């Protein structure tokens, strides 16, 4: 006699928890009922991200690197599940290796992107990269897993907290990743994942006054309007590679801070 499998309820991931949409809505994607986030869910997610930003950005780079590496470890343990939710094992392996690659960048960014500046006067002057704050990410529709990892990895390794709108047609890999993040020592709120209608959620994220940067790499056709909304609080608008890795993808989510101090006796 075959056993009836226990199914999963596909929920949002906000502040380290798995709520349903406050709106009570779902939509059907990849054969499952998936939570359909509302405007208020976006605002709750931004609040959770802002709350987590202070702690995450204040952690040592070494520590953040270890947390990212832990994400890769947890993904490795779920390779089979991920493979069912994206294009297959090759995409899963590429995604895991990409997380490892970004993990290693955490404590090298300041050396590659920063500088000591020889000013014409008795001052010590240096420039260091810092995270920009809360980043809104519109995940590429595909590839379902590699696209998500390619955008979230560079944003969080530099110390940002993110609110991700998952691929609308392929949200299940994102929910699976949320379950990985919940068990990978990532402080609650550093990554928040919303599933639902991108057309409905993206403008709310783009116009939110407490979001510092907007990643439109996965935006479809809406970009000019989203950029206009983003100007309301001078958001950094990032158009990156949907399935690639580079330190400049990280730099796009960083600020540069320059510090002066007199030299004297």
> Least distance (Å) from another protein to the CB of residue 152?
21
User: Closest by alpha carbon to 112, among 158, 69, 147, 143?
Assistant: 158
Regarding 79 and contact with another protein (CB under 8 A), the answer is no
Regarding 256 and contact with another protein (CB under 8 A), the answer is yes
Residue of 23, 32, 87, 125 that binds another protein (CB under 8 A):
125
Alpha-carbon distance 38 to 36, whole Å?
7
**CB nearer to another protein: pick between 90 and 231:** 231
Residue of 78, 97, 127, 182 that binds another protein (CB under 8 A):
127
Regarding 119 and contact with another protein (CB under 8 A), the answer is yes
* Residues sharing a CB contact under 8 Å with residue 2, sequence separation 6 or more, in sequence order: none
How many Cα atoms are found within 13 Å in the side-chain-facing hemisphere of 40?
Answer: 7
Question: Token pair 């989510």 is at which residue?
Answer: 253
> Least distance (Å) from another protein to the CB of residue 80?
37
**CB nearer to another protein: pick between 24 and 118:** 118
**CB nearer to another protein: pick between 6 and 234:** 234
User: Closest by alpha carbon to 32, among 6, 10, 4?
Assistant: 10
Phi, psi (deg, nearest 5) at residue 201 = -90, -35
CA–chain centroid gap for 49, Å, is 10
Residue of 16, 197, 225, 242 that binds another protein (CB under 8 A):
225
Does the bond joining 143 to the residue before it have cis omega, within 30 degrees of 0?
Answer: yes
> Least distance (Å) from another protein to the CB of residue 133?
8
Regarding 107 and contact with another protein (CB under 8 A), the answer is no
Interacting residue ranges for another protein, rule: CB under 8 A = 115, 117-121, 123, 125, 127, 132-133, 212, 223-228, 230-234, 236, 248, 255-262
């Amino acid at each position: 006699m075959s056993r009836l499998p226990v199914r999963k309820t596909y929920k949002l991931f906000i502040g380290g928890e798995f709520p349903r949409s406050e709106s009570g809505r779902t939509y059907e994607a990849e054969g499952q009922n998936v939570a359909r986030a509302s405007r208020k869910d976006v605002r709750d997610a931004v609040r959770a991200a802002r709350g987590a930003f202070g702690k995450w950005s204040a952690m040592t780079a070494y520590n953040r690197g270890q947390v990212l590496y832990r994400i890769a470890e947890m993904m490795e343990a779920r390779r089979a599940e991920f493979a069912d939710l994206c294009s297959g094992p090759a995409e899963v392996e590429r995604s895991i290796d990409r997380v490892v690659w970004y993990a290693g960048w955490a404590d090298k960014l300041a050396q590659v992107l920063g500088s000591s500046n020889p000013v014409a006067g008795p001052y010590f002057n240096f420039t260091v990269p810092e995270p920009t704050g809360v980043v809104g990410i519109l995940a590429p529709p595909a590839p379902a897993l590699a696209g998500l990892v390619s955008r979230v990895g560079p944003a969080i390794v530099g110390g940002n907290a993110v609110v991700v709108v998952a691929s609308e047609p392929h949200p299940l890999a994102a929910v699976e990743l949320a379950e990985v993040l919940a068990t990978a020592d990532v402080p609650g709120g550093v990554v928040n994942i919303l599933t639902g209608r991108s057309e409905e959620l993206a403008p709310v994220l783009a116009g939110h006054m407490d979001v510092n940067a907007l990643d439109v790499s996965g935006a479809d056709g809406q970009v000019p309007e989203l950029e206009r909304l983003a100007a309301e609080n001078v958001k950094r608008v990032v158009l990156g590679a949907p399935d690639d890795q580079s330190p400049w993808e990280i730099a796009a989510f960083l600020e540069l801070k320059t510090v002066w101090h007199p030299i004297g006796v």
